Amino acid sequence: ILRSESLCQGNEDEFVRVAPHYVGAIHQEYIMLPALSETDHQINQYANVLQTPLQPLKDHLNSQTYETFERDPVKYQLYEKAISKAMVNQLEKKGKSSSPTGRNQLPAPLVVMILGAGRGPLVEASMRAMQTVCPEQEVQFYAIEKNPHCLFLLRQMRSTFWNNFNVEVIHEDMRLWQPEQFADIIVSELLGSFGDNELSPECLDGAQRLLKKDGISIPQKYTSFISPISSTHLPQTLKEQSAESWEKGYVVNVQRAFEIDIPQQVFTFEHPSSTVGQSTHSNDRQCKLQFVA
């Protein structure tokens, strides 16, 4: 822009003189910017990239994909806090019992099931929660995972880093596994994208039988939202694709788009569900929304 203006004004010598100062000022502003965190670098890799949603119920994900999931530190910190509160809640329900000698005993063991354990980040979050709120409490952990690619690592972790905890690794579909005891707390991270590619409601409805009547599910409730956007960039990425590509859902970290109206609530699911097992139970959803352009 500077060069164009200078040439239009017929003053190229002036441009040559001042341009280095402008470049130097811009460089100074750039180096003063805070360094991007590892999370920022990770997010920027997927900015405006249309990704086909994963289907971990149908496909066995590889280790690299799990590693990408695990680079979200905030998610696991929040899970740990939620598990801590759930443990406190359940222990308060159990209360302390009195032995025949009159001495107080710790409540009966807590049973925590991690449904879809992957490579174990939620198992470790549960262990950290236990060490924080009830280090003396006996807790039985179950890591349930159907993906055979994860089993070796889970079993290795159980025999090494987790050998001070009561952990049982179960190679089974959570909807089919028949446990010997039921859970006080079930934990999962099956939310997936808006299109629910991980089938969280269907999987957790099928696993609800693993939970005691007064048990806690994490998450308990989740809601999807939708809003219209306008973008010239995103359609260009599909320009050379087939017509079918325009009818699919994608996961995308949208950066180059204009949000036309504020997001509105679409679908809500709760766990445990009071209608599971009834003929009226269904996860089919539909809604009609209006937005202002």
User: Which DSSP letter does residue 45 get?
Assistant: T
3-state helix, strand, coil in the chain (%, to 5): 35, 20, 45
- Name the helix (H) or strand (E) containing 83: helix 73-94
User: β-strands 110-115, 139-144: how paired?
Assistant: parallel
Give the list of residues 6+ apart from residue 58 with CB closer than 8 angstroms, or none: none
- Which residue has tokens 């000022």? 25
Cα separation, 8 vs 11, in Å, equals 8
Choose, from 29, 92, 145, 189, the residue flagged as catalytic: 189
How is 137-181 classified by DSSP, letter by letter?
A: S-EEEEEE---HHHHHHHHHHHHTTTTTSEEEEE-S-TTT---SS
Cα separation, 150 vs 61, in Å, equals 9
* 198 given a catalytic annotation: yes
Alpha helices in 9-72 (DSSP H): 12-31, 38-44, 63-69
Choose, from 198, 244, 247, 259, the residue flagged as catalytic: 198
* 189 given a catalytic annotation: yes
Cα separation, 159 vs 152, in Å, equals 11
Return the active site residues.
189, 198
